[in-house]
Structure 1
Amino acid sequence: MRRALPLLVVLLAALAAAFLLAPRLISPAEDSREVRFVREMIQHHTQAIDMATRIRDTTTDAELRTLALDIMLSQQEQIGQMRGWLTLWGRPWAGEGMSAEHARMMGMATQAEVATISTQPEKQAEVTFLQLMTRHHQGALAMVPPALEGGVRPEVQALARQIQAAQSAEITLMTRLLKDRGAQPLPAPGGMGGMDMGDHQH
């Protein structure tokens, strides 16, 4: 009986570990919060990288160039992480994506707005970038709450919290940089209430 006890303990520990890991072994469904959040955040990040690249190539301001590089590197890394998850989950990288209306609600700029960063004089382009990126970050914060709800995979929740912390800090910085230039942020996007990603229409 005494010999059986250690074996029983090991067996129970193995069963407990399997129970805890089970949710991670099951791939999220195509219409899950995880897949939707990841795909839409990839789309969102892609535009942020585009805008950051444009201002890095335009401005001579060292602080702004550092901010742009931070956005580029951090969001490129997060895109790689999210694409890796989609691959592991057996889901294609490209999905239906956000409609133009929903993208606008999530703070995304139009292509014409993004293009102005490359065509305006340097000082004007700096203000345009800071205004567009502040609104863009506010939209990202609106995308986070559904990814933090119960039942969402812990690795997705961890990334959502990382995005929330980093982009909140960058909004504070960009608001100060705008003030330094005698400018104000744009009105916050319509999705700032943290709309339920399960309810929007594509």
Structure 2
Amino acid sequence: MPRRPALLATLSLVAVLLIAAALALTLRSPRPGENSPEVRFVREMTQHHAQAVDMATRIRDRAKDRTLRSVALDITLSQQEQIGQMRGWLTLWGLPWGGQGMTAEHARVMGMATPQEVNRLDTLPGVDAERLFLQLMIRHHQGALSMVQPILREKVRPEVLTLARQINTTQSGEIRLMTQMLRQRGAKPLPFPQAGQGENTNGMDMPGMEAEPGQHQH
């Protein structure tokens, strides 16, 4: 098999050249401005992810159910990695990580939990805390899906579009899994928040967002 090493070396060289070409193209692309859809999405999704990591970390330390601990760990690791990725982009674009974040009302409409709801994860008994976590995280994921929809429709930088697609796919699947786990615990998802004056959720119907009467809350 004398030709195999040469073939592998050629394929490796081609792969390196393709990566280098893609990186060069990315670096030549105009940097997104402060008010661009990319920068707004990255900053708001970073804020959104940070709360998901916080909630997942809290329940991972308390949950007795192995599957739930696994889900919480997956959320923690994947969203921490994406936070690092998004902050890296802001650095490359010459922009600060901070900036104007979501208002409390915007965060609510995007499915984020209130500080009081997050703190209840530490004070409720174990099974009740697991149930609340699933309800809060399903709603939180639904908010993330509403955030990616405009990015999926707009002409944005390819790396941002790729991340939006990844979030859409991953969190849609996690919503289905967590909804099943919640039903096994005799509860239903929380109703998704309605937009108040000046807020817009783009009217998107997303997996796991069906309205269900008589929500069971704990």
TM-score range normalised by the length of the shorter chain: 0.7 to 0.9
Q: CA deviation at 1:47?
A: 0.1
1:61-117 Cα shifts (integer Å, max 9, x gaps): 100000000000000000000000000000100011000000000000001100101
Alignment pair present for 1:183 and 2:193: no
Identity %: 66
Which residue is equivalent to 1:7?
none
Matching residue's letter, 2:125: P
RMSD across aligned C-alpha pairs, in angstroms? Answer: 1.9
Pairwise CA distance, 1:22 = 7.3
Match of 1:37 among 36, 41, 60: 41
2:18 equivalent in structure 1: none
1:128-168 Cα distance to aligned partner (Å, 9 max, x none): 00000000000000000111233200110000000000000
Q: TM-score, normalised by structure 2?
A: 0.78
Q: Does 1:91 align with 2:95?
A: yes
- Give 1:127's match in structure 2, choosing from 114, 127, 131: 131
User: Which sits farther off after the overlay, 23-32 or 49-58?
Assistant: 23-32
User: Amino acid of the residue matched to residue 121 of structure 1?
Assistant: P
Contact 1:139 / 1:192 at 8 angstroms: preserved in 2?
A: no
Query: In structure 2, what is the equivalent of residue 80 of structure 1?
Result: 84
Change (3 A) 1:111 1:24: farther
Cα distance in 2, alignment partners of residues 31 and 152 from structure 1: 13
> Which moves more between the two structures, 47-56 or 23-32?
23-32
Q: Which residue of 1 aligns with 2:113?
A: 109
1:13 equivalent in structure 2 = none
Q: Which residue of 2 aligns with 1:193?
A: 203
1:21 to 25, 37, 53: 25
So what's the TM-score if we normalise by structure 1?
0.84
Amino acid at match of 1:158: T
Confirm whether residue 170 of structure 1 aligns to residue 174 of structure 2.
Answer: yes
Listed as ranges, the gaps of 5+ residues in structure 1 are 1-16, 195-202
2:146 counterpart of 1:142: yes
In the TM superposition, residue 193 of structure 1 has moved relative to its aligned partner by 2.1
Which residue of structure 1 aligns with residue 71 of structure 2? Answer: 67
Aligned equivalents of 2:100, 2:28: Cα separation in 1: 24
Query: What is the aligned counterpart of 1:56 among 49, 60, 72?
Result: 60
User: Partners of 2:155 and 2:202 in 1: how far apart?
Assistant: 23
SS at match of 2:154: coil
Q: Distance in 1 between matches of 2:193 and 2:141?
A: 10
Q: Which has the higher contact order (CA 8 A, sep 6+)?
A: 1
Aligned to 1:100: 104
Matching residue of 1:10: none
